[in-house]
Amino acid sequence: MAEVRVERTEDGFQAVNGRGARVAIGDGDTEGAFTPVELLLAALGGCELVTVEPLTAQRGHRMARLAATVQAEKVETSRLGTITVTYDVELPEGDDKAEGVLKAVAKRVHERYCTVGNALKEPMKVDQIV
């Protein structure tokens, strides 16, 4: 089971996991903090990259640089439009097969293996207990 605790702090909010990692959360004006939407986008980009990286490396193609920019616009109050993940990659020097392997792996990860992406694509039940 995945679990985080979100709590109010003296200067905003934070998410804390069981391993002690902390992420500051705030509104769009809060310095040094992510908005909840930014965290959602980071979760999607992170999910794809941490899944793609070991799969390409296991195939002998470790990218010199592997990053992604994840963007979405609000199309209505409390509603996002299409989310776009744009990869920023530097292929390993002299590796003619790396690009093809990366594209194939990234496509499979995006379509099937990224848990965050799958959660965003399919209707999910979200319960609240107050």
Q: Where are the alpha helices (DSSP H) in the chain?
A: 36-58, 98-108, 115-121
Residue 124: which pLDDT band, with cuts at 50, 70 and 90?
confident
pTM over 0.85: yes
Taking residues 111-115, what's their average pLDDT?
96
Residue 16: which pLDDT band, with cuts at 50, 70 and 90?
very high
Q: How far apart are CA 98 and CA 82, in angstroms?
A: 28
Q: How far apart are CA 57 and CA 101, in angstroms?
A: 10
Q: How far apart are CA 104 and CA 108, in angstroms?
A: 6
Give 40-79 pLDDT, tens digit per residue. Answer: 999 999 999 999 999 999 999 999 999 999 999 999 999 9
Residue 32: which pLDDT band, with cuts at 50, 70 and 90?
very high
